[in-house]
Amino acid sequence: MAKEWFRLTAHEIRDAVLGGAVSAEEVTRSFLSRIEQVDSKVCAYVDVWRDAAISRAREIDARIRKEGFRGALAGVPISIKDVLCTKQGYTTCCSKILRGYRSPFDATVVERLWEAGAIFLGKTNMDEFAMGSSTENSAVQLTRNPWNLDYVPGGSSGGSAASVAADEAACSLGSDTGGSIRQPAACCGCVGLKPTYGRVSRYGLVAFASSLDQIGPFTKDVEDCALMLGTIAGRDPRDSTSVDLPVPDYCQALNKDIKGLRVGMPREYFTEALGGEVREKIEEAIRSLEKLGAEVVEVRLPHTEYAIAVYYIICTAEASANLARFDGVRYGYRSPRATDMRQMYHLSRSEGFGPEVRRRIILGTYVLSSGYYDAYYLKAQKVRSLIRQDFVKAFEMCDVIVTPTSPTPAFRIGEKTDDPLQMYLSDIYTISVNLAAIPGLSMPCGFTKGGLPVGLQLLGKHFDEMTLLRVADAYEKNRGFDIGHPPIN
């Protein structure tokens, strides 16, 4: 039987490929057969680029042989959330309105992974336009949690998280506006990072909420996370909000001790509302960090209670403008029933967008309307500054903040689809992080009795991904359990 290359991490694959232990083609074929084997159950992918992946792998093999190519991700098979523009295949955001749409360009992050020698396996499922927490809002398909197929993989980047958890990709790229990387990473038991706003170029990310969106990696371990971040981070002249700060070698954060490091526990996050197995696992993780020499301090984030309200004003306002371009004029779905211009707009958008997207566009249009702007949008921006200030102050007392990623583990498919508000509340620990523009990382810290992963969230200062990765790596190497692989074959 062929070696199960799909079980390996990205750095292991890269080392094996560059060391001549295996060809990129063999690795790629291994992943492709894994996809064939399990994706009919998981449904992580909406498009698999089988032939392109194989010819790309051959190209990498040839370049290694002929040019001595040494890319940081040479031969590493990667999946991409369908919200990122790729010249290859389709870019649909899992929406009917973009069905069949092909992007004329690659997102900057895609270009950077390509230059590093990555092999793209295809595009992954997501909540339509990244709006959702369970991937149930996809217009294409339902994705199932590889740890238990009756459960959601989280969202909105559920397909990316599931693809990595089910060993259908070594790594994946997702996007995170209010938790869309960290929450599915927690649900599926992988490492997910939302970098500091401005750390990674958003060029080629189909915008949901421009001031909150950030692209980040899903990986099987912290080392891969450092590797991926180092590859995609950095200033891009095409994204004015990307910051011109040097990109450190994030792998320098690995294998370091955390003695004397101050770990903050926000009082507002560990209330009575947080109960059960999630609290148990988080407290266990905090004890592990203490054992490693970290000092745990209580910090205050007094404006936490406003975060969800502020988030749903700002993100919907920005979305209402960002999604205005989907009008049936230049590309995408145009209703065949339209007989004049007004109808073309009205019917194309009503028929092309799903209910959650429509709900948010309407909310966003409302909060920006004349007469309501000051009460909603402007007020929300002010409170957003307070939330950001909360974190800046908290980080005077500590080096990282530790929280649960989500108040609960993954829920059953269909459990919350009729209750949008309940769905919004599952993002309570992740949303403030986007509002404050700081980096956040989710990693597994154990399983529930039912066998579902629980996510630990680590938050850092602006542009201090180094410390996040250092703590995450130390914890990962000392947490006392192996994440293993989901029981799916």
Is 120 one of the binding residues for another protein (CB under 8 A)?
no
Q: How far is CA 34 from the centre of its chain?
A: 22
In this structure, the dihedral spanned by the alpha carbons of residues 5, 9, 12 and 15, taken in order and rounded to 10 degrees, is: 90
Stretch binding another protein (CB under 8 A), from 93-101, 160-168, 271-279, 296-304: 93-101
CB closer to another protein out of 329 and 375? 329
Is 90 one of the binding residues for another protein (CB under 8 A)?
no
Is 207 one of the binding residues for another protein (CB under 8 A)?
yes
Euclidean distance between CA atoms 244 and 431, whole angstroms: 25
Looking only at the bridges linking them, the beta strands covering 171-176 and 400-404 are unpaired
Is 448 one of the binding residues for another protein (CB under 8 A)?
no
Exactly one of 156, 160, 320, 406 is catalytic; name it. 156
Is 369 one of the binding residues for another protein (CB under 8 A)?
yes
Total binding residues for another protein by CB under 8 A? 43
Angle at alpha carbon of residue 27, lines to 24 and 29, rounded to 5°? 105
Joined tokens for residue 213: 């969106």
Contact 289, 401 (CB under 8 A): no
Active site (annotated) includes residue 449: no
Active site (annotated) includes residue 81: yes
Q: Of 170, 1, 184, whose CA–CA distance to 72 is shortest?
A: 170
Is 91 one of the binding residues for another protein (CB under 8 A)?
yes
Is 247 one of the binding residues for another protein (CB under 8 A)?
no
Contact 153, 184 (CB under 8 A): yes
CB closer to another protein out of 172 and 316? 316
The structure tokens 């590797």 sit at: 227
Contact 173, 84 (CB under 8 A): yes
Contacting residue, 52, 142, 321, 488, with another protein by CB under 8 A: 321
Euclidean distance between CA atoms 52 and 33, whole angstroms: 15
Q: Of 312, 294, 352, whose CA–CA distance to 328 is shortest?
A: 352
Active site (annotated) includes residue 259: no
**Residue 412's beta-bridge partner residues?**
151
What residue type is 184 in one-letter code?
P
Stretch binding another protein (CB under 8 A), from 46-54, 268-276, 363-371, 383-391: 363-371
Contacting residue, 65, 70, 87, 238, with another protein by CB under 8 A: 238
Is 318 one of the binding residues for another protein (CB under 8 A)?
yes
Exactly one of 79, 138, 180, 348 is catalytic; name it. 180
Contacting residue, 30, 137, 231, 320, with another protein by CB under 8 A: 320
Stretch binding another protein (CB under 8 A), from 148-156, 262-270, 370-378, 426-434: 370-378
CB closer to another protein out of 238 and 291? 238
Euclidean distance between CA atoms 347 and 341, whole angstroms: 10
The catalytic residues are 81, 156, 180
Interface residue list for another protein (CB under 8 A): 84-85, 91, 93, 98, 101, 103-105, 107, 202-207, 209-211, 237-241, 317-318, 320-321, 324-327, 329-331, 341, 345, 365, 368-370, 373, 377
